[in-house]
Structure 1
Amino acid sequence: MDAVTLSLSPLVPPALAYGLGALALAVAILALVRGLKGWLWRALAGLVLTGALLNPALVQETREPLSDVMVLITDDSASMQIGNRSAAAEQTAQALRALAESDPLLDLVEVSGGASEDGTRLNRALQQGLSQAPRNRLAGVIIASDGQIHDAPPAADDLGLEAPVHHVLTGNPNARDRRLIVSQAPRYGLVGDPVSFTLRVEDEGAATGTAMVNLYVDGGDPIQARVQIGQDVTVQAEIANRGPNVVEIEVEPGQGELSLINNRAAVNVTGVRDRLRVLLVTGEPHNGARAWRNLLKSDPSVDLVHFTILRPLDKDDSVPANELALIAFPVFELFQLSLEEFDLVIFDRYRRRGILRPLYFDNIANYVENGGALLVTTGPPFAGGESVSRSPLASVLPAAPTGQISEERFTPQISEIGQRHPVTRPMLSGEGEWGPWFRRIGARPLSGETVLEAPNGDPLLTLSHEGQGRAAILLSDQAWLWARGYEGGGPHDELFRRVAHWLMGEPELDEERLSARVVDGELEVTRNTLADEVPELEIEWPSGVQESVEMDETGLGVYTERMTAREQGLVRLRSGDLTTVTASGPLNPLEYRDLRPDPEGFAALVDSSEGGIFTLGEEIDLPEFRRTNARARQAGMNWAGLKRNNAYLVTDAQSVPLAPGLLIALLALGLLALAWRREGA
């Protein structure tokens, strides 16, 4: 394309040239006022000289037109997966691609973005798209989004835009949706006590009425409550475990909802124990009694009640009992009135001598069956007629005595099943370097798992689930040698602290456990088991998509799986009968607070750029994208304009001077001569 233009290349500063021209014109006017006859020729001479100083020329340019650039910003956040929103965005992109292919002077720049852990953030994508389009060639910006953004862009002037911005609104802004909002939630709660949550159910399609809300603590049984729509209500749930507890709150679906994603919310409540109450009953003074007392007293979370029987009732030495007892043994208060208040009961080398009647042993057995914890550490009396195994307590003991007692030197070993059990597995590294014991009580296991054994396979430490509670039995009274460091000692404190916490239901020590967490965008799942293999891991993502994977064994009794957490929200996991939940990203992401399309999301930017907002409903009806002149209107009822900038690149130029120096000099002298002649006539 060729074009001819007038070009000025002043020989002196332009201001000086124009000043001289103005001076010559003023002199000519003065001559006219004074009646001089040569004023016209003087004026013409001044103009000719001024033109010569400006050095005009005709420039013939060969121009190569430059294409305009339109920028498409596509929202790829999670809310765009609802309904036909992503399909509408894709159809918008296809229409713009077709327009760019049909128009050689129009290029398309596509940028996707918006997805983040704290809502939809499209400003970065917008800046990235604008950086790829020269501002003098920008035809327009098209944003395909549902308008649910959390970093609304500034006005067009602040972005330096001189081109229209059009918002293609995906989805129906008049759609109905019900959502759950958790207004207040505690961060901590006492284990076994209820905690309160303040929540609100909002439903644009039903401003009044009620809805059923379910609460699940770590995927357990639902706690149901019927709440009033549109009002703040308080519901309660009991925290069952120490440590993190994911409380999922879910409202029943409404009619014709956009999505059920925002019908759920999750809260992470850390369970803490007020104090662990432990009752320790030592049947007779012995070397290991102090070791047990020191171990339990060293744990700041344990509130210990300890009684040692110094003088049994069957001992007849003519000394009154009230002169020997340091404190009366409150049998009725402990084993009849207050037994349920203890988290763990320990019988250490206890023998039946008439202090505890069968009724109290029966109470202890019922206490275990109903969720309590019992630890029995034995000695020689366990093998005889005074053994607690000959009482109602036998119904919850995991082992029964054979009547044999061995007093040969031996070193305790972790059993095959104990190598997989969370209580004893951490002690594997030091096994073989432990000091010896010198007495063990013969017994046969009745239930549970023997995690510690003698070299010949006889049980030493057996753990068992009894009813809703737990029981453990230690078939030796020599563990205190480890506490004293005899011949190197052994993991006394660590082992029996773990035994005590396992008995009291510490989740991290459960032998069958499924746990999960999301760290740096990666889902990490751990499965503890005593079995040789585990079922497939079933994963349900927040969107409802399900998948199954095989878990890899990374240690004895430990299976793990790691994968990218590709969705935000609550992830449900199942392996066999075990289930758990974890939060991917924020527990209640901004992305799901309101899922209705919002035409006001980009309104300020669209209005300031003289663009348009075009709503695509269930029937995707795209606007017509047309090229427009720079000064024309850029949006109509169902059309969006893309400005023509007419930018070009000059590839060649030829210049023809219009004021050659010699010709101008002769012309100026001729005009001055005419002026003098006219004035002299």
Structure 2
Amino acid sequence: MAWNIVFEPLIPAWTIALLALPGLAALAYAAFRRARGAPLRACAFAVLITALANPTIRQEDREAVPDVAAIVVDRSQSQEIGVRPEETSAALEKIAERLAREEGIETRIVTATNDPDGEAGTALFSALEEALSDVPRERIAGAIFITDGQVQDVPGSAAALGFDAPVHAVVIGRKGEKDRRLRITEAPRFGIVDEPVKLSFRVDETSAGEAPAGESARVTVRIDGAEAATADVAIGRESTVALRLSHGGPNVIEIDVEEGPNELTTLNNRAVVIANGVRDRLRVLLVSGEPHPGERTWRNLLKSDPSVDLVHFTILRPPEKHDGTPIGELSLITFPTHELFDQKLDEFDLIIFDRYKRRGVLPLGYYLNIVEYVERGGAFLAAEGPAFASPYSIYRTPLAAILPGQPTGEISVGGYRAEVTETGQRHPVTAELPGAAKSPPEWGRWFRTIDVTADHGEELMETPDGKPLMLLDRAGEGRVAQLLSDQVWLWSRGYEGGGPQAELLRRLAHWLMKEPDLEEENLSAAAQGGTLTVKRRTMADETPPARVTLPSGKEREVALEEVAPGRFEGTTEAAELGLYRIQQGELSAVAAAGPLNPREFSDVRATADLMQPIADATGGGVWWAGENADDTPAIRPVREGQDAAGANWMGLQRNEQYLVHAVHQVPLLTGPLALILILGALALAWWREGR
């Protein structure tokens, strides 16, 4: 409850002032003349002016409201280093205990973690703003930050805070901490597969002084988890290594520097770059044994891809055709067998024999060259026609050593819909092929099959009566595929609704050329929205859990559940920023949460430099917590304008705000009372002057 006197004029104040001027002049004249009634007339005039000002006694029923002090606790990843978590908790406990003993202060504890995107680093002032968004600025007593000092959103001025109260910081860590960190200076975003690309980086070692001259550190570079290069590099100088991307699509390049002596943490000893591998030109050799309706299908498919450099030959004039036409009058070129199958064979990424038959065009030695080409890592696709079941079959050449299907000599004729086998439902070439989900599949019929006995390899497609239609196999380091029908072109023509011919042949070609996305045994992972998703593709019926190594070095297991035939998935929390390593048997994968090289780890040494300017601007202070929680400063209440920080104490501003629940007003000078006083004073004045 509070009492005070307030004035609530009955007329505007300027009107009262105008009315008072003549009265003051008359009173001054009367005083000059020494009139006997002048004092009484002055009293009457004073009562009149006071009555117009309307003095009122006001009684307010007040309730004091507490001031609000915020404690912002930094729980970012850099605060998880060493004993910082324990020291942070001890400092928080001590400060909260001391605040609890202060009357009239409400404490709000705000915990700030990493920015979800990882781009902003440690954002403590954003967390403070959100926590105090519902508090009037007049009630804010101050803010206390418990942090390692690596704060990336410190405002540039005190005005930007939005309140007038001291800001204090308690720094967790040690002065002069030593740390080694790796920084990428130039990295490729794209690179041609099997062509060298340059990666530049720098290793810095910081402490209270500069890095010692002449020191070196060992750096290891990995691509997709496999070691690609090692080198001893000078600390404090830019270094460059040349790498080769092994496949198309994303290539994850990791650079690790060995741990230094007495180093604070190894979290920033690693950097990651993702470079997209681009094949310069895929060189494909297509050899058609004879003209047929499906020949143009192959040509159109391969020519539609701008990254494919197609060399196509059709055997129109075999050696046995002798009709007496002079060579000089022929428009057909001679098939360059020696150049293609001897001199430049290794320049091709894929060789396709489309309905090719043995006709004396290629000597047996060239077939042997193809076998050796495949075993060294090449790719061979045979699209078989009726000739495969004849004495002219290419199976009667050295190619039999790599072909998985042996012809029986029979050809099956009659309409049927190709079906994906149980193995094919798991294999990436035919898994989830459009139209294959229903039985029979929703695509057009074929009308011819070359019967074979599958000696080895994987059977992905078959006829309704179980005859093989597509066989895949490995030969040495290379790969081989057989299509046992020459009527896949019917799908491209839209016969009976057509079918996924382009998608099927695209997948088949990419599998032959060892694209990672088409591997049967594949492990991949992606981190998004705080969740790490691990994906496993396998031909097996089950798969063991994956072992995940977190950026901090901790490990956990992730169970994988089957979501489709041959496809398993599992998820786990990805709260830490940085690189996650996933291992399952001989397979490995990596995934980055947040930015590849988080700002949070650019410098993890404790510092007071970033918080000192804002503390000085608001009258606050910065203290180092030390190993003992009792070293945290004491807390004192201060008034606005007073010093808010000392050697071992911090001040919180007392604003003395309150809420008014009710107001009671009583006029001091009512109209009748004022009239009586005025008339009485004037009557006395007249009486005095009449004597």
User: Same-fold call, TM > 0.5?
Assistant: yes
- 1:344 Cα deviation after fit: 0.3
Counterpart contact for 1:153–1:602, Cα < 8 Å: no
Counterpart contact for 2:189–2:276, Cα < 8 Å: yes
- 1:279 Cα deviation after fit: 0.8
The alignment of Structure 1 onto Structure 2 pairs a total of residues equal to 678
Corresponding residue of 1:494: 503
Output aligned runs, 1:300-315, within 5 Å: 300-313=306-319
- 1:673 Cα deviation after fit: 7.1
Corresponding residue of 2:437: 429
Q: Secondary structure at the match of 2:605?
A: coil
- 1:266 Cα deviation after fit: 2.0
Counterpart contact for 1:173–1:598, Cα < 8 Å: yes
CA distance in 2 between counterparts of 1:145 and 1:339 reads 64
Change (3 A) 1:628 1:304: same
CA distance in 2 between counterparts of 1:422 and 1:313 reads 41
Corresponding residue of 1:627: 637
Change (3 A) 1:60 1:457: closer
CA distance in 1 between counterparts of 2:130 and 2:77 reads 20
Counterpart contact for 1:192–1:238, Cα < 8 Å: yes
Corresponding residue of 1:156: 158
Q: Secondary structure at the match of 1:419?
A: helix
Output aligned runs, 1:44-443, within 5 Å: 46-47=45-46, 49-56=48-55, 63-113=62-112, 115-116=114-115, 117=117, 118-119=119-120, 120-172=122-174, 174-205=176-207, 206=211, 208=213, 209-286=215-292, 288-313=294-319, 326-379=332-385, 381-383=387-389, 387-401=393-407, 403-409=408-414, 411=416, 412-427=418-433, 428-429=436-437, 431-432=440-441, 433-443=443-453
Counterpart contact for 1:71–1:133, Cα < 8 Å: no
Amino acid aligned to 1:429: A
* Worse-matched range after superposition: 521-530 or 548-557: 521-530
Q: Secondary structure at the match of 1:225?
A: strand
- Residue 579 of structure 2 is aligned with which of 570, 578, 584? 570
Corresponding residue of 2:545: 536
Change (3 A) 1:22 1:130: farther
Output aligned runs, 1:595-610, within 5 Å: 595-610=604-619
Amino acid aligned to 1:111: V
Counterpart contact for 1:83–1:171, Cα < 8 Å: no
Counterpart contact for 2:449–2:469, Cα < 8 Å: no
- 1:342 Cα deviation after fit: 0.6
Amino acid aligned to 1:126: L
CA distance in 2 between counterparts of 1:98 and 1:18 reads 58
Counterpart contact for 2:182–2:203, Cα < 8 Å: yes
Q: Secondary structure at the match of 2:132?
A: helix
- 1:636 Cα deviation after fit: 0.7
Counterpart contact for 1:536–1:576, Cα < 8 Å: no
Check if 1:467 corresponds to 2:483: no
Counterpart contact for 1:157–1:608, Cα < 8 Å: no
- 1:649 Cα deviation after fit: 4.2
* Worse-matched range after superposition: 583-592 or 288-297: 288-297
Change (3 A) 1:29 1:461: same
CA distance in 2 between counterparts of 1:131 and 1:105 reads 20
Gaps of 5+ in 2: none
Percent identical pairs in the alignment equals: 45
CA distance in 2 between counterparts of 1:629 and 1:488 reads 85
Q: Secondary structure at the match of 1:596?
A: coil
CA distance in 2 between counterparts of 1:459 and 1:309 reads 27
Amino acid aligned to 2:257: V
CA distance in 2 between counterparts of 1:472 and 1:519 reads 37
Gaps of 5+ in 1: none
Deviations 1:316-357 (A, max 9, x none): 666666665722222222222211211101223444455434
- 1:417 Cα deviation after fit: 0.8
CA distance in 2 between counterparts of 1:67 and 1:580 reads 54
Counterpart contact for 2:388–2:450, Cα < 8 Å: no
Check if 1:647 corresponds to 2:649: no
Deviations 1:73-132 (A, max 9, x none): 333433333334444443444334324433342211233346321223334322223333
CA distance in 2 between counterparts of 1:656 and 1:324 reads 125
Amino acid aligned to 2:65: L
Corresponding residue of 2:518: 509
Counterpart contact for 1:445–1:459, Cα < 8 Å: no
Counterpart contact for 1:406–1:442, Cα < 8 Å: no
CA distance in 1 between counterparts of 2:449 and 2:41 reads 135
- 1:146 Cα deviation after fit: 3.0
Counterpart contact for 1:137–1:647, Cα < 8 Å: yes
Deviations 1:169-204 (A, max 9, x none): 233353222222223323222222222233222221
CA distance in 1 between counterparts of 2:496 and 2:618 reads 85
Q: Secondary structure at the match of 1:197?
A: strand
- 1:589 Cα deviation after fit: 2.5
CA distance in 1 between counterparts of 2:664 and 2:257 reads 77
Change (3 A) 1:488 1:632: closer
- 1:564 Cα deviation after fit: 4.9
CA distance in 2 between counterparts of 1:664 and 1:289 reads 118
Counterpart contact for 2:73–2:109, Cα < 8 Å: yes
Counterpart contact for 1:262–1:593, Cα < 8 Å: yes
- 1:10 Cα deviation after fit: 4.2
Amino acid aligned to 1:263: N
- 1:502 Cα deviation after fit: 1.4
TM-score (norm 2): 0.86
Change (3 A) 1:17 1:343: same
* Worse-matched range after superposition: 242-251 or 595-604: 595-604
* Worse-matched range after superposition: 545-554 or 593-602: 593-602
Deviations 1:289-325 (A, max 9, x none): 4443343333333211122333444566666666657
- What's the C-alpha RMSD, in Å, of the aligned pairs? 3.5
- 1:379 Cα deviation after fit: 4.1
CA distance in 2 between counterparts of 1:463 and 1:304 reads 23
Q: Secondary structure at the match of 1:539?
A: strand
Amino acid aligned to 2:510: H
Change (3 A) 1:32 1:417: same
- 1:610 Cα deviation after fit: 0.9
CA distance in 1 between counterparts of 2:48 and 2:406 reads 127
- 1:278 Cα deviation after fit: 0.6
Deviations 1:496-524 (A, max 9, x none): 33222211122222222222334455433
* Worse-matched range after superposition: 669-678 or 289-298: 669-678
Q: Secondary structure at the match of 1:171?
A: coil
- 1:367 Cα deviation after fit: 1.9
CA distance in 1 between counterparts of 2:449 and 2:59 reads 113
CA distance in 1 between counterparts of 2:313 and 2:360 reads 16
CA distance in 2 between counterparts of 1:485 and 1:646 reads 84
Counterpart contact for 1:6–1:58, Cα < 8 Å: yes
Corresponding residue of 2:590: 581
Counterpart contact for 2:558–2:572, Cα < 8 Å: no
CA distance in 1 between counterparts of 2:124 and 2:594 reads 18
Q: Secondary structure at the match of 2:268?
A: helix
Q: Secondary structure at the match of 1:111?
A: strand
Change (3 A) 1:662 1:418: closer
TM-score (norm 1): 0.88
CA distance in 2 between counterparts of 1:51 and 1:284 reads 121
